[in-house]
Amino acid sequence: MSDAAPAAAPWIGGGTRIVGVIGWPVSHSLSPLIHNAAFAALEMDWAYVPLPVPPGNVLEALRGLRALGFAGANVTMPHKTEIAALADELTDDARLLWSVNTLVVTTDGIVGHNTDCPGFDRFITRDAGFDAADKTALVFGAGGAARACAVALARARLRELVIALRDPSHAQSLRVAVDDIGTKVTAVTFDDVPTVTADLVVNATPLGAHGESLPIPALGPDVLVVDLLYRPRQTPLLAAARAAGASSYGGLGLLLHQAGLAFELWTGRPAPLDVMSAAAMTELAAPGGGETPEG
């Protein structure tokens, strides 16, 4: 946990709109910090709070959002899939990925969205300057984050997607997500990874959060490497990328873009991404600020 002085709490009055983040745990989430910074910058009467929800209490939490008048919430691990089954309505992407990371509370019920997919597209094209058309990508993992990345890349006309898993038989849900888009999908074991050549490498697993090493594919100056972890600031994969001269990014860009899309869904206003980015980077740069991954 950071030793930096905490940011001033948002002013909360009788008309304040409340949103938050549902997960277990949520104590290390950057989302309250970046959203409250955005609300303050735009002088909006909104506040964002952590909502720790242990496994087994998700349905009660969703009912509570409506009962307490929340405008919405983000969803983080381990509840993204369960909430996809419990929301009153799902957007097309949330249904396709069977993963919800943003909830909007309406008069008719709770709508589940997935902003990871468009958020990754914005990050990879705007921040990293990567054009996926006719390229090959290697993605570690097949969970919700990996599926969101895969769909975004396939929609950008990726030629081939290689999925690296300890057990390649677990790739089926990802195959289904991109099945109608046209990208070729190949699943390989971790042992096969050193033989893989790709233009883009994405780690969409928790491996590296505590120093774990992933197998390293062929890397060089023409390869872009993205580790979706934003804590720690340098994972073993990013260190290997930099040593090989590859371009590399941590997961902060995706966090900001998916958060910005959620902000827009709740408020109807463009998110001040520069403010949100500055708040996150200040926290991560503080002593201890980059040590513990979000759950």
Let me know: does 60 contact 87? Beta carbons within 8 Å.
Answer: no
Catalytic residue among 35, 80, 135, 231: 80
Closest alpha carbon to 121 in 129, 113, 110: 129
CA 46 – CA 40 distance, rounded (Å): 8
In angstroms, the first-to-last Cα distance of the chain is 14
135 noted as active-site residue: no
- Sequence-separated (6 or more) residues with CB below 8 Å from residue 60: none
Q: How far apart are CA 206 and CA 220, in angstroms?
A: 24
State phi, psi for 104 to the nearest 5 degrees: -120, 125
Which ranges in 112-228 belong to alpha helices (H)? 116-122, 144-155, 172-178
Handedness of CA 69, 70, 72, 78 (dihedral sign): negative
CA-based diameter of the chain, in Å? 60
CB burial of residue 32 (10 Å; 0-12, 13-18, 19+):
buried
Catalytic positions: 80
